[in-house]
A and B are shown apart, each in its own frame.
Chain A
Amino acid sequence: MPIVKVARSRTAAYTREGSGAKVSSFILAVCVIVAAALLYVWSHLKNTQLKYQMAEEISVRSSLQEENRKLKVEIATLKSPKRIEAFAREKLDMSYPEREQVIRIQ
């Protein structure tokens, strides 16, 4: 009889241990799923943020490219022979060289 008693109490203990393990596994699984879901949501959020950022950067790049174009045209305007000649003559007191002033050196 005592043998039967021991066997019952062991079964109960095993049942309690099995139920605890199941709960732990369940909690772990839930945690993993929640973490995966959060990660998924976070990645989507991050992706959207990056899309805003990229759109912003592209707009900035376009405006900088346009600015660059404007500056290049300004350089071309400043380099115009008419302006340079006027500047050289009036501000720097320069003139075109005479025949004797040009000597090619090799």
Chain B
Amino acid sequence: MSGAAKKWYKFRLLTVLLFFTALFVALMTRAFHLQIMSGSTYKVMAERQHKKSLPLPPERGLIFDRNGEKLAASLLVDSVFADPSRVTDADATASRLSSVLHLKKKQVAQQIQKSKNFCWIARMVSPAQAARIRALDLDGVYLVQEPKRFYPNKELAGQLIGSVGLDSNGLEGLELKYETYLKGETDRVLWGRDAKGRKLYLADGPAEEKKDVIHNLILTIDSRIQYLVESHLKEAIAKTGARGGMAIVMDPKTGQILAMANEPPFNPNNIQRGDTDLKRNKAITDVFDPGSTFKPFLAAAALEEGIVKETDRFYCENGAYRVANVTIHEANRKKHGTLTFHEVLKYSSNIGSVKISQKLGKQKFHQYIQSFGFGRKTGIDLPGESGGLVRPSENWTTVDAATIAFGQGISVTALQLISAFSAIANQGVLMQPYLVQKVVNQRGDVVQEFTPTAVRRVISPRTAERLTAILTDVVGDEEGTGKKARIQNVGVAGKTGTSQKFDFAAKRYSRERVRTSFMGFFPSGNPRLAILVTIDEPQRFKWGGEAAAPVFKEISQQIIRCYDSGIGEVPTIEKGNINQPVQIRLASLPVAAAAATGEADQEAEDLLPDFRGMPLKNAMKLAQERDIDLKIVGNGWAVSQAPEAGTPVRRNRACTVYFTTGH
């Protein structure tokens, strides 16, 4: 190679080297700029493209009855919406949508022709309709999933549970009262996505599990008792041709409401179709004159104040007693001569009651009325409760004081009435009624627990006992007004009532339109349940003892036979003595009497306890205390067990308990 050629060769080599060096420097500079100087900005931009945050609809909490039966749940259903700016053929789209969704074409066309980017076409459509919309694949029409509330038992406790709106917000009943617990929160989940928009799992993204914000309610309601109360009430309404009715079952010792029924019923699955009046829980919102069911409270006040005793006699004026310018008659125009205090209640004498009231004095009477909780809200955990109407005693005329003695001229709610009556059953202590036992999270841990709350002592245990004896005679005696509520072998204390409704047009009490009631508790020696039945404007059987008392009897008997064998109206038979004559033990025998023989404790020890409704921890504790070999299935709170509660555990001390979180 010549010298010139060598030089040319070196020059070319150097040029290439310089070119690539410059290129390398440029690349490195750019890389430095991208990675180091603007790295964080580009990282954010890249993440925005690679990651997609999808909203998760809020999951509303579930509602269970005391036995773990589901009363309300939410499911995801499809809703149809459109982006009008992306709709290509508005007329054809409207036509297709209207035929699938059964909507008017004009209405759909108006929606999709709006100058907006979003409009609802139909909310919460059926799965079949959603599938057809998906198959049509219309431009600018999309489906989105939204939670919809379902009430599996339909009308059962409809007014009590309440309902939710289209946006899953509580509108009425427990759904509204416990909205803060039930509503859940909208959550977002982060997904990765590729260039084609396909989903990619992100290891560093938030977990797809929703936060632990879902709270479920466990009620005091027993859906089985609720059902039988509703069905018997319905039958009674049909039989008497009445306008409606209410019934409440309450545990007098705790204030727990086991059933609260209104007739006609309301199905919260169809909120748009339901009449507004049907949605109202009349047992707490509507006030009425209690009629003769108010007499036990007058009697309680009189006994407590010591102004009367059972044998005191009152002249009942042969059925007509003039107070100021008004003549007071007995119900059904009966004529009583002289009655003892005991008989005044047994025969439900209006005139006798007026005379007791006059002896008691209006201030004292008013004081006891308030003490029993009338005139103010009971504080039950439901919205819209009415406090009733009790005027101050200073405003009572002589006639007012007389008529209030037999329950006219005072307004109370059904719940106030049964709560006050339960105070008599609970040895004189007024309990606050309540509907929710506890709020639990998804794992079944108790978030909040509601326990029985004593409001105040109204009367002494001795007065309550004396009054219970009189009220047991009202039902148990052949001449008592409540004899149709009698249950064989079970002591029932109760009181009938029939009140005339006020005719606002005529400005006087109507003779035709009445409300009949019966309230009672049993077993009278050791009350377990208090029940109130009221029937509004019956066309036949217009007296409380005829219309409402049999309903009370039917409900009570069925509860005893089917659900609460602890009360037991039939004898208990030892397995080995099935064919032997047995000694019948009265079911109303007080527990104390049974315990004296050591029988009650032995019985409780030998029977399998009821684990249902307990969280895992409590169930394990109880099993340990009772030396039961507990087999746990699932987690959360107990919903069922095998063998059932009450099964003898002498030989086999094993029990399988099934737990659920409800999800």
Specify which chain B residues have a CB less than 8 angstroms from the CB of A103 in the assembled complex: 570-571, 573
Task: Type the 1/0 row for A75-91, where 1 means its CB is closer than 8 Å to any CB of B.
Answer: 01101111001000000
Give chain A nearest CB distance to B436 CB in angstroms: 19
Q: How far does the alpha carbon of A69 sit from the alpha carbon of B198 in the complex, in Å?
A: 27
Please give, as numbers and ranges, the residues of chain B lying within 8 Å of A73 by CB-CB distance.
70, 73, 75, 150, 152
A104 x B570 contact (CB < 8 A): yes
Could you tell me if B223 and A81 are in contact, using CB atoms closer than 8 angstroms? Answer: yes
- Given known contacts A72-B70, A73-B70, A97 and B227 CB-to-CB distance under 8 angstroms: no
In-complex Cβ contact of B561 among A50, A55, A99 (8 A): A99
- Determine the chain A residues whose CB is within 8 A of the CB of B198 once the complex forms: 52, 55
Interface residue from A58, A81, A82, A104 paired with B568 (Cβ < 8 Å): A104
Question: Is the beta-carbon distance between A80 and B606 smaller than 8 angstroms?
Answer: no
Give Cα distance in the complex from A106 to B574, angstroms: 5
* CB pair A72 B76 closer than 8 Å: no
Indicate whether A99 sits within 8 Å of B191 (C-beta atoms), given known contacts A51-B201, A80-B152: no
Chain A residues with Cβ under 8 A from B568's Cβ? 104
A104→B154 contact, CB < 8 A: no
A80 touches B570 (CB 8 A): no
The chain A residue sitting closest to B198, CB to CB, is A52
Interface residue? A100 (CB, 8 A): yes
Set A48, A69, A76, A80: member contacting B200, Cβ < 8 A: A48
Binary flags per residue of B222-238, CB closer than 8 Å to A gives 1, else 0 = 01100110010000000
CB distance from B294 to the nearest CB of A (A): 33
If over half of B's interface residues share one DSSP class (helix, strand or loop), that class is named, otherwise mixed; here it is mixed
Interface residue from B200, B565, B573 paired with A55 (Cβ < 8 Å): B200
In angstroms, how far is the closest chain B Cβ from the Cβ of A64?
13
- By the criterion of a CB under 8 Å from any partner CB, how many residues of chain A are at the interface? 31
Q: Counting CB contacts under 8 A, is A70 at the interface? A: yes
Indicate if A43 sits at the interface (CB-CB under 8 A): no
B208: interface (CB < 8 Å): yes
Q: Is B572 an interface residue (CB 8 A)?
A: yes
User: Is the pair B153, A76 in contact by a Cβ cutoff of 8 Å?
Assistant: yes
A4 contacts B by Cβ under 8 Å: no
B192 CB to closest chain A CB (Å) equals 7
Q: Closest CB-CB distance, B464 to chain A, in whole Å?
A: 29
Instruction: Produce 1/0 per residue, A30-71, CB < 8 A to B.
Output: 000000000000000000101110111011001000100110
| Contact (Cβ within 8 A) B152 A105 | no
On chain B, the residues within 8 Å of A82 by CB distance are: 153-154, 156, 227, 231
**Most B C-beta atoms less than 10 A away, residue of A59, A69, A70:** A69
Residues of the B chain whose Cβ atoms lie less than 8 Å from the Cβ of A54: 201
- Give the shortest distance, in Å, between B253 (CB) and chain A (any CB): 23
Q: Would B70 and A76 count as touching, CB distance under 8 A? A: yes
Closest chain A CB from B196 CB (angstroms): 11
Contact B75 A66 (CB under 8 A): yes
A54 to B150: give the CA distance in the assembly, Å: 32
Do residues A106 and B152 form an inter-chain contact, with CB atoms below 8 A? Answer: no
> B201 contacts A76, CB within 8 Å?
no
Contact B570 A99 (CB under 8 A): yes
User: Closest Cβ of chain A: how far from B616's Cβ, in Å?
Assistant: 20
Chain B hits for A100, CB < 8 A: 570
Within 8 A of A (CB), among B562-618: 562, 565, 568-575, 578, 603, 606-607
Answer yes or no: B126 CB below 8 A from chain A CBs. no
Please determine whether B153 and A52 come into contact, CB atoms closer than 8 angstroms. no
A76: which of B69, B202, B603, B607 is its contact (CB, 8 Å)?
Answer: B69
Q: Is B199 an interface residue (CB 8 A)?
A: yes
Which 8 pairs of residues, A with B, have the shortest CB-CB distance?
Answer: A76-B152, A54-B201, A81-B227, A55-B199, A76-B70, A77-B152, A51-B201, A80-B153
What are 17 contact pairs spanning A and B, CB under 8 A? Answer: A48-B200, A50-B201, A52-B199, A52-B201, A55-B191, A56-B199, A66-B76, A69-B73, A69-B75, A73-B75, A76-B153, A79-B152, A80-B152, A80-B154, A106-B574, A106-B603, A106-B607
